Amino acid sequence: MDTDPDTDSERRDGPVGFDLDLTLIDSRPAILAAWEHLARDTGVAIDLAAVDSRMGLKLEDEAAYWFPPSELDRAADGYRRHYVRLAPALTTALPGAAAALDAVTAAGATAVIITAKHPVSIGPSLTAAGLPDAEIYAHVHGPEKAAVLERLRAAVYVGDTPADMAAARSAGARAVGVPTGSFEVTRLLAAGAHDVLATLEGFPAWYASFRAGAPS
């Protein structure tokens, strides 16, 4: 599809999607700790720096780098058991996350979280971060996120990975990047980001401008 919502004034009022990990929340400490515990449990050497460089994938896709297909389900279950235990103490909201969600609802639009995270891991993460409620679409990545965004006719999708930017573009949503994860501004722009904000602290002003139809 790859259209620009600037050409569709009605769509500017549509839902606004946010990625979760490293967009709204700093889950890196909990994620890496869970992988470290899984490595100890299984005796598998897992390179945490490599995991960090790909953060944003579905758990099963990352696990496939370290475990054979016959062991993926067991590895994923073990990881999630550790993550759910560790997340409450190791997860925080990223700067501006709560205000970004509030800016959407204050404007009369719907804030939606669209994430590769499994539902069992989302609750502890959001509770620890103290973020306001939002609609949640879980366990989707890349083109799966694009399908959700297109079905919702989302106006905007905010994320920290090139795959997030590609998903937004494909769905005809405004692709807004934040370099708060593993990918720099140049990577986000190369993947199709319309705009890149240093942090979500800049989102309320950006969103007000977007809703008003101001050119970027």
DSSP letter, residue 114: E
Nearest-angstrom CA–CA distance, 208 and 212: 6
Q: How confident is the model at residue 3 (pLDDT cuts 50, 70, 90)?
A: low
CATH number of 5-26+92-212: 3.40.50.1000
Numbered ranges of CATH 1.10.150 in the chain: 28-90
Q: pLDDT > 90: what percent of the chain?
A: 91
Residues facing 93 on adjacent strands: 25
Q: What is the pLDDT of residue 132?
A: 86
pLDDT digits (tens, 9 = 90+) for 50-91: 999 999 889 999 999 999 999 999 999 999 999 999 999 999
DSSP assignment of 145-159 equals HHHHHHHHT-SEEEE
Query: Bridge partners of 51?
Result: none
- For residue 6, the model assigns a pLDDT of 55
Question: What mean pLDDT, rounded, does the chain reach?
Answer: 94
Q: Cite the residue boundaries of each domain of the chain with CATH code 3.40.50.1000.
A: 5-26+92-212
Class of 28-90 per CATH?
A: mainly alpha
